[in-house]
Structure 1
């Protein structure tokens, strides 16, 4: 079965999150995703609030930029929320937008090296290991969590280019692909990830989460086109979808056939009704997606 989600975009003020979380929980949405985009809203703080305000919907964070966060702090925060809300968080990390990382003095000379070291350390800490490492970026001296999760959660990582995809395939438990990834891009990414995965875990499921820009209602096509132009993605074919539930469900299934295990519908930045969008995804699109 394809998992279906929606994004609460951080262009919305934080005080609107609660109503959207309640709508997601009540309507039966599979997953509600949050972003830690600079300089909008914090990923862990919004995830904690969303988990506390809901009972069943899974809350995804896509993604925590690793240059901004000491890996021990990230492990402590994820572990704390996993113990309070076991199995309901979906945790993603990534390079972060390099221009933003430069603005805060956190840009890494080798983002790939940092991501590899970070994933190894984070997954080890969440598995209850005691770690000493002296890497290029990650420095830990006899560090272990006093309150590790009862069950270590999968750690997903964002990737676009082939080099990052290989690192994610080797070191992460799943991948998050941006809304600039068409169906052919999903297939290509899946091939790279599969080839990079260690033989010991190659047969295990590997989540492939893909964002899909979507809009419904009056002016939907124009809003999607404007959003893609704003992101300089309007020249990439086969991106975004606008229309009724049937049209959007067909696009979701097309993405699933290409290899996505979870399709997360991303409203346009000017979506007039974020709660209504979440209910639309859960109540009208979800029943049409196997």
Structure 2
């Protein structure tokens, strides 16, 4: 039986903590230690973003077939790569294979990606995102979708499959997309967004969109880049390794500047130092990080996803696993 729309609103007094795969695994078995940590620790969910090899759907199904069936989140896959119908099939297949709830998150991607696949950038990323999420949500709700959109046309219905619930998420960086998420998404997913910016800009826009649509505000998930302090570590180097690509993308630069973090795509090293100073990249001892996470929850975040890609990039997979274990032991019960 296909579940109805969830549109869940958290009533938690504390946030849940989840894990982001800190790299896109070129071999599927490389996901297994992180799936195992999710299953055996206080972590709530295992997340993976867009990949160009071993897409998250494939990796999660591989982990499930290997005995590690855990709740998963896809945050986010990029709309230009996949038609909404296939995206809905992917999400439904993962839920059926894992036996756990799935968050299927989507985003329009950068203008250069839209141009390379669509032929030109979306004139309105908001319209494209509305069409995409509306089609995917309708398909997953068991509806017959009849949509002739400006960007996405979809006519069809999914075969019914017994499975756990699937929440449809939207990647959110700026107020316009946040208002749209408030209208049409089950989950708003942020990346590299400081707590104060979430509190002052994103959450009010989410609430505005939800109230305009007459529906509850979607859950807010924040993927937070983080590293433990150490005598041999350089916080700015970790932040640069974690976020070099984002520091060069115009929509991330714009979001960071709106949050008060001055970055320049031509100087990502200086931008990385600014991320640390502006608390978009969290660095410190476990108790210090716990205090920083509390600010995210106070801002309205329901689920904090630990992103240790900087540690993975500089120190390797074993160090990343130890990092996650240490942080989870401090914050997740």
Same fold (TM over 0.5): yes
> What is the deviation of 1:27?
3.1
Runs (5+) with no aligned partner, structure 2 = 1-13, 248-267
CA contact (8 A) 1:224 1:242 kept: no
CA contact (8 A) 2:63 2:69 kept: no
Task: Tell me which residue corresponds to 2:185.
Answer: 172
| Other structure's SS at 1:73 match | helix
Distance 1:42 1:97, change over 3 A: farther
- Structure 1 residue 277 and structure 2 residue 290: aligned? no
Could you tell me which of 195, 201, 207 is aligned with 2:215? 201
Give the Cα separation in 2 of the matches to 1:151 and 1:25.
17
Give the Cα separation in 2 of the matches to 1:149 and 1:220.
48
TM-score w.r.t. the length of structure 2 is: 0.76
Distance 1:121 1:77, change over 3 A: same
Q: Which moved more, 1:113-122 or 1:220-229?
A: 220-229
Distance 1:212 1:155, change over 3 A: same
Distance 1:229 1:122, change over 3 A: closer
TM-score w.r.t. the length of structure 1 is: 0.86
Q: Which moved more, 1:215-224 or 1:242-251?
A: 215-224
Q: Which moved more, 1:231-240 or 1:152-161?
A: 231-240
Task: Tell me which residue corresponds to 2:255.
Answer: none
Cα displacement string for residues 162-208 of structure 1 (whole angstroms, at most 9, x for unaligned residues): 211111111111101111x1111111201100111045422xx6211
Q: What does residue range 10-29 of structure 1 map to in structure 2 within 5 Å? A: 10=23, 12-15=25-28, 16-29=30-43
CA RMSD of aligned residues (A): 2.5
After the TM superposition, which segments of 4 or more aligned residues of structure 1 sit over 6 Å from their partners?
none
Give the Cα separation in 2 of the matches to 1:114 and 1:69.
13
- Structure 1 residue 130 and structure 2 residue 171: aligned? no
Could you tell me which of 80, 90, 105 is aligned with 1:77? 90
> What is the deviation of 1:40?
4.7
| Other structure's SS at 1:197 match | helix
Q: Which moved more, 1:93-102 or 1:48-57?
A: 48-57
Task: Tell me which residue corresponds to 2:202.
Answer: 189
Give the Cα separation in 2 of the matches to 1:228 and 1:72.
32
Task: Tell me which residue corresponds to 1:240.
Answer: 281
Give the Cα separation in 2 of the matches to 1:226 and 1:150.
40
| Other structure's SS at 1:13 match | coil
Runs (5+) with no aligned partner, structure 1 = none
- Structure 1 residue 160 and structure 2 residue 150: aligned? no
